[in-house]
Amino acid sequence: MNADLLVSVWANPGQRPNINARQWEALIGQARQARLLARLANHCVDKSWLDGLPDVPRRHLEGALRLADRQQHEVRWEIDRITQATRDMDVPIVLLKGAAYLIAELPAAKGRVFSDIDIMVPRSQIDAVEISLLGAGWISDERDPYNQRYYRQWMHEVPPLRHIQRHTYIDLHHTITPPTSRFHVDGDKLMSRAIEVRGSPGFLVLAPMDMVLHSAVHLFQEGEFGHGLRDLLDLNDLLQHFSSTMPDFWREMLNRTTELKLQIPLFHALFHLQRLLGTTAPKALTDQVHALGPSIASRTMMAWVLGLALRPMHPSCDTYWTKLARWLLYVRAHALRMPLHLVVPHLARKAWMRRFPDEKTKTQ
């Protein structure tokens, strides 16, 4: 079935794809939409498959490798520029997500492509850091007063910052979830366990268990599943890497999950990792993982909608119910991020602005 072509590559990592030209076209399209083309190429290189592939898919994969390599060099340069912009400040800067995987040389960085760089600083210092970045050439394109207030009052980050010359983006956070969120996480708790990156003075990354939990809550609270499969594969890489290097990682992660109250996002992540990739918790912790989940009805509903939404946004993956599933998750994500009295007018405004856009502003 073409809908599951891409995930089957990692579900059966030792099995070379035995597919026809039409299926290769679907596979390449799925990987591109899911931002996994370079990762797919890396997988083929690791397995020594690349040279034996048909010409057309091989060229796509080779091009993706070159693009990912160039982007990773650019990200390292941007991180250096952030260092220079904040060099006179006594402030801890935590790299998040892809930038963290790259600097910490984690397996999830292989074939990674970037749209922005995510960093986190203490909330008490976020204004000062933003001013320093503005002085170094990053600006906010957000001109709508409502959206400025939306970010600064209700969200866990300031509006995205774009460099005026290089057109690179920074997302500047003070925690990993909105203060209004059902799954709000105190940024100070994350900062207290952040660890230094060897060879990258001035930068930190989240503790291993926090890195996994951030990936899980980001995937299941953001509501945008265009690259959901990529995020799920990141989670899989992180779990495999940390559990192989830290003997009691799973138990520590589950304890941290309870401390940060992120049981439900982690449950959904682990459920779909087992469903798609066969990744499971140690047997001794199976009951503890099962206890993380919500009610049976909620589990069943989420299993259905996520089963559809985690597929790449490609025609070969769509079913009659796919759009409905993604819409339900989109609404759910907003309901998780904001209480009802905020989310209803916010979604109504977004719908109005999509229907009657104001060319002078950029909507959230």
Residue 362: inside a domain, yes or no?
A: no
User: Average pLDDT, whole number, for the chain?
Assistant: 89
Which of 180-193 are b and which e, b meaning 16 or more Cβ less than 10 Å from the residue's Cβ? bbebbbebeebbee
Written in H, E and C, the secondary structure of 214-266 is HHHHHHHHHCCCCCHHHHHHHHHHHHHHHHHHCCCHHHHHHHHHHHHCCHHHH
Predicted confidence at residue 284, as pLDDT, reads: 92
The DSSP H or E segment spanning 94 is strand 93-96
d(CA 254, CA 249): 9
Residue 1: the pLDDT is 56
Q: Is the pLDDT of residue 123 over 60?
A: yes
Residue 363 forms part of a structural domain: no
Tell whether 280 is covered by a domain. Answer: yes
Q: Is residue 361 part of a domain?
A: no
Considering the domain boundaries, does residue 364 fall inside one? no
List the strands of the sheet with 93-96, edge to edge.
Answer: 138-140, 161-163, 169-173, 117-120, 93-96, 203-205, 195-196
Please tell me the total count of domains within the chain: 1
Q: Which domain holds residue 55?
A: 2-355
| Helix (H) or strand (E) segment spanning residue 302 | helix 296-309
The token pair that represents 223 in the structure block = 């509501």
Q: Which residue has the higher pLDDT, 154 or 187?
A: 187
Contact 264, 293 (CB under 8 A): yes
Question: Does residue 153 belong to any structural domain of this protein?
Answer: yes
Length, in residues, of the chain: 364
* pLDDT of the residue at 43: 93
Mean pLDDT of 71-93: 92
For residue 209, is it within any domain? yes
Asked if residue 360 is part of any domain, the answer here is no
pLDDT tens-place string over residues 211-254: 999 999 988 877 677 788 999 999 999 999 999 999 899 999 99
Per-residue pLDDT tens over the stretch 317-359 = 888 899 999 888 888 887 888 777 777 777 777 777 777 776 5
Q: Residue 25 in contact with residue 60, Cβ under 8 Å?
A: no
- Of residues 73 and 352, more confidence is placed in 73
